[in-house]
């Protein structure tokens, strides 16, 4: 079965969705990511969806779930590069992804992750 690759970059995991998401692929990604976070003890997950043109409520929910799962495993999730049409669809579907951090592009997403980690570190010390 086709799988979406999960790349490891230091303390972060990088997922780039380059194909059309269908339901089983989305669930497989959710599963793989949960395991990868634990295995690599990742602190942050960056999901690039700039190539994603079509979403439905299920995919929207899976993205939200992935964020929730990583939070439980103590990793931050940032979704980057969402297209206007996708954003409008998700809002109209009533899936505005609460609790998910978003960024315009990968670079800003990385910065957001690093900033969040620095804040966490500060909180741990305090």
Partner 1 sequence: MAEMADLGSLIAGDEEALLDDWMREQLAATTLRRDLISEPDLRRQSAEFLRALREALERGAPDDLSDEAWSDTRGVLEELSRERARLGFTPTQTATFVFSLKQPLFALFERRRAAGDDAVDPLWQATRVLDRLGLYTTEVFQRSREEIIRRQQSELLELSTPVVQLWDGVVGVPLIGTLDSERTQVVMEKLLEAIVDDEASLAIIDITGVPTVDTLVAQHLIKTVSAARLMGAECVISGIRPQIAQTIVHLGIELTDVTTKATLADAIRFALRRLGHVVRPAEG
End-to-end CA distance of the chain: 47
Q: How far apart are CA 54 and CA 49, in angstroms?
A: 10
Nearer to partner 1, 71 or 108 (CB): 108
Q: Does 16 bind partner 1 (CB under 8 A)?
A: no
Q: Which residues pair with 109 in a beta bridge?
A: none
Q: Does 97 bind partner 1 (CB under 8 A)?
A: yes
Q: Does 96 bind partner 1 (CB under 8 A)?
A: yes
Q: Does 14 bind partner 1 (CB under 8 A)?
A: no
Enumerate helices (H) and strands (E) in the chain, giving the number of each. 4, 5
Q: Does 90 bind partner 1 (CB under 8 A)?
A: yes
For tokens 């799988």, name the residue: 3
Where on the chain is the footprint of partner 1 (CB under 8 A)?
79-84, 86-88, 90-92, 96-97, 102-105, 108-109
């Amino acid at each position: 079965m086709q799988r979406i690759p999960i790349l490891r970059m230091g303390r972060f995991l990088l997922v780039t969705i380059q194909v059309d998401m269908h339901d089983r692929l989305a669930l497989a990604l959710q599963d793989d990511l949960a395991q990868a976070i634990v295995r690599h003890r990742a602190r942050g997950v960056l999901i690039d969806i700039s190539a994603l043109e079509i979403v439905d409520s299920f995919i929207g929910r899976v993205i939200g779930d992935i964020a929730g799962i990583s939070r439980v495993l103590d990793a931050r999730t940032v979704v980057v590069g969402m297209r206007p049409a996708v954003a409008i669809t998700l809002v109209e579907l009533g899936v505005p992804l609460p609790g998910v951090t978003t960024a315009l592009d990968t670079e800003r997403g990385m910065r957001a992750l690093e900033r969040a980690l620095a804040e966490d570190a500060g909180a741990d010390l305090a």
